[in-house]
Structures are given as C-alpha cells and as structure tokens.
Chain A
Amino acid sequence: MPTTMQDLRRQPINVVDEEKGSNQEIRDKKIDKTEKTMPLDAEVLVGSLRDGRLRVLSPFSVRFSSEGSSIIAEATEFNEFGFGENWSEALLDLQYAIVELYFSLEGGQDRLGSDLQNVWSVLQQKIQKIQK
C-alpha cells in the first residue's frame, strides 16, 4: 500500500485496456417537423418526480386543464394538484407537491385518516424511496 508521494510514483500506471461508451442503437428513427400543439386538456402518464430520493415504479396519470390564464395539472390517483402559467410549470409544481405529500405522509403514517391511508397506499405502489 503506497503511503507517500514517492511510493505512489513508483506504482505502475494502471493501463485501461478498453473503455466503452453506451451507444444505443436506435431503430426506425423518424424526424417529424410538422408543427403540432399539445392539447391543454390532455391526460398523460408521468414517470418521474425530478427528485433523486424517489423513483417512480409505475407511471401516474396527470390530467391537464386550464382556468383563466392558469394551467392545472392534476394527479387524480393522489388527489394532488399543480399550477402554472404553462404545461411545464404546472407539471413541475405537481411533481414538487407529490414529493412533499410523500414525505409528509411517510412521517405521519400513524396519524392518517382513511382517505390519506388510501393515498399513502397508492403512493407506495407507484413510488419507491431510494435507500442510500
């Protein structure tokens, strides 16, 4: 085991024989330059919460709607909402809200009423806490 800089210098250089990138082959690639507008009342499946502590195991459904100039994103399974000036802001707000909901329910599991128990059960089916 080298202990000084001199010892380290005497160590043989670790030669890497081969490094490989994970270049994935894409099949049937198609570029579409036709302009389309995503409908504001769309319902989509979301597979991320933008939070390194939580992983989405099964995608959750998000319904978008508009009210005045605001866009509302609703995760019907969790009864949670996000708001914003556009689709992206509303979704981001919803993702933060779900993360907050997860940790607040996790912290108070023994005090949950039946509605929140149901929400917690769905959250556990769909979202996994990453153990560090």
Chain B
Amino acid sequence: MTQRDKPQSQIVPILAAALVCDVACVDPNSGKHTLIGIFDVIHVRNFPSRRHISVYLKITNAEGAYEFDVRFVQVATNKILVGAKGNFEVKSRVIPMGLYIPFPPFDIPSDGRYEFQVWANTIYLGSTCIDVEKSA
C-alpha cells in the first residue's frame, strides 16, 4: 500500500510553531534543524519583489497519514501566491515532528500582510504572518 492509498488520519494535529526564515540547515546525522534568518517583516523598495522564503513547522499530536498543504496567501485579496503540498506519516501522537519547506523564489506583488496557512487533510491548522512594508 503506498502513502497515497493509505486512509487519511482523523486525528487533528496541533501546529505548535510556524517560523518564517531565509533558510534552514538539516544535520544529516542527527536530523536537527538550524534556522537562519528568522523574520516577520520584509522591507521592499520596488514591487514585485522576488523572494526566497522558507517555513519551518513544528507539529504535534499527529498520528497516521496526512496530506499537508502550506499556502502563502495575500491576506487582503485571499490570493494563494505559492503553495507546497506533500504527504507524511507519523507513527505515534507522542512523536513531535519538524517540517522544513524551502519555497523557490516567488514574487510578492505589493505591500501588506501575507500569511502561510497550514492545512493537513484539508483541515486548517493555523497560520503565521509576515508584513511587507514599502521602504523609501
């Protein structure tokens, strides 16, 4: 049975943390993440602004198979500018998990509030915001 064929878990995971950063390094031996350049505001001179943004998620209380969906949304227009989808499986609820998602460069069209929305098995788990400010 492949991951896709597995029935989706009915257990609602908890989004314990969501951090926006420039990049993260993962130690291949220990699996530890090191987040570099955590931020929540971007100062931009000219729009659209091409950015390389990564998200690190800490999820707890998950058990079973999940399809996740992380969407970068312009809050004012409800536009999804970029999204990342994938599958993961967790053996037990007591095992917390870290998901690191590096997005390829994408355009931020204008100033305002944006958010990364986290969905698992089509259930909205939460979000983390970043504010884009126009600099002189």
Alpha-carbon separation in the docked complex, A87 to B32 (Å): 35
- Which of the four size classes fits the interface of chain A? 35 or more
Contact of A65 with B by CB under 8 A: no
- B-facing mask of A1-37, CB < 8 A → 1, else 0? 0000000000000000011111111111111110111
Alpha-carbon separation in the docked complex, A25 to B120 (Å): 15
Contact A20–B86 (Cβ < 8 Å): no
In this complex, which of B26, B59, B75, B106 has the most chain A Cβ atoms within 10 angstroms of its Cβ? B75
CB of B36 to closest CB in A, whole Å: 15
Contact of B87 with A by CB under 8 A: yes
Contact B81–A26 (Cβ < 8 Å): no
- Closest residue of chain B to A88, judged by CB? B75
Q: Decide yes or no: A47 and B84 within 8 Å by CB, A24-B99, A37-B79, A38-B78 being known contacts.
A: no
Contact of B97 with A by CB under 8 A: yes
Task: Please provide the chain B residues from 77 to 113 with a CB less than 8 Å away from any CB of chain A in the complex.
Answer: 77-88, 90, 95-101, 103-104, 106, 113
- Closest residue of chain B to A50, judged by CB? B126
Task: Tell me what chain A mostly uses at the interface: helix, strand, loop, or mixed.
Answer: loop
- Which of the four size classes fits the interface of chain B? 35 or more
Residues of B within 8 A of A33 (CB): 81-82, 104, 106
CB of B79 to closest CB in A, whole Å: 5
Contact of A55 with B by CB under 8 A: yes
**Could you list which residues of chain B lie within 8 angstroms of chain A, going by C-beta atoms?**
3-4, 10, 12-15, 26-27, 30-33, 59, 61, 68, 73, 75-88, 90, 95-101, 103-104, 106, 113, 115, 120, 122-127, 129
**Could you list which residues of chain A lie within 8 angstroms of chain B, going by C-beta atoms?**
18-33, 35-38, 40, 44-48, 50, 55-59, 85-88, 91
23 examples of A-B residue contacts, CB within 8 angstroms: A20-B31, A21-B32, A21-B98, A22-B98, A23-B100, A24-B90, A26-B87, A26-B101, A31-B82, A32-B85, A33-B81, A33-B106, A37-B80, A44-B122, A47-B120, A47-B124, A47-B125, A48-B15, A48-B126, A50-B126, A58-B12, A87-B78, A88-B75
